[in-house]
Structures are given as structure tokens and as C-alpha cells.
Amino acid sequence: MITVNLDKLLWERHMKLSELSEEIGISMTNLSLLKTGKGRAIRFTTLNKLCKVLDCLPGDILSYSPDPEGAEIPDDIFEG
């Protein structure tokens, strides 16, 4: 399972989501989806902007832990 640690990074940097949105030019809606883990994808260009503004590495934003036993990855993630 991939976890998005955007809340933690924003808290550590005393930054609001609205400030981050303005800095990187990504809508509050899209950042909110990413922050809550409801986003289905992230562009490398967005990840690059996040790393630049938050002064971090991609692994600081995204972390991995094994899925619970029996959890399935949806097939539709590979559909175009």
C-alpha cells in the first residue's frame, strides 16, 4: 500500500495546503485528493515540484507498506 505523507511534511514546514497550491501551481482540489490518499496517480512533474518546494525526496512524500493479506490491486489502474 502506498501512503502519502503530505500532511506530515506540511506540518513540519508550517505550511498550509493553500500555500503549497500557489507555490507549485496545482489546484487545491488535486492536492487535497493526493493528501487524503484518494488520488489515483501522480505525475512525475508534480512530484518534482512537490520535492522542490518542500525540499524533500520522493520517498519523504510517498511511503510503501505491504498490502493486508488478501487485498487486491484493481485491474483498472492499467487501463488507458
> Tens digits of per-residue pLDDT, 12-64?
999 999 999 999 999 999 999 999 989 889 999 999 999 999 999 999 999 99
**Looking at residue 77, what is its pLDDT?**
55
Contacts made by residues 37-44, CB under 8 angstroms, sequence distance 24+: 37/3, 37/4, 39/4, 40/77
**Looking at residue 69, what is its pLDDT?**
75
- Domain 2-64 adopts which CATH fold? 434 Repressor (Amino-terminal Domain) (1.10.260)
**Looking at residue 51, what is its pLDDT?**
97
CB 1 within 8 A of CB 73: no
Tell me the whole-structure pTM to 2 decimals: 0.80
Q: Where are the domains of the chain?
A: 2-64
Cα–Cα distance, 5 to 67 (Å, whole number)? 17
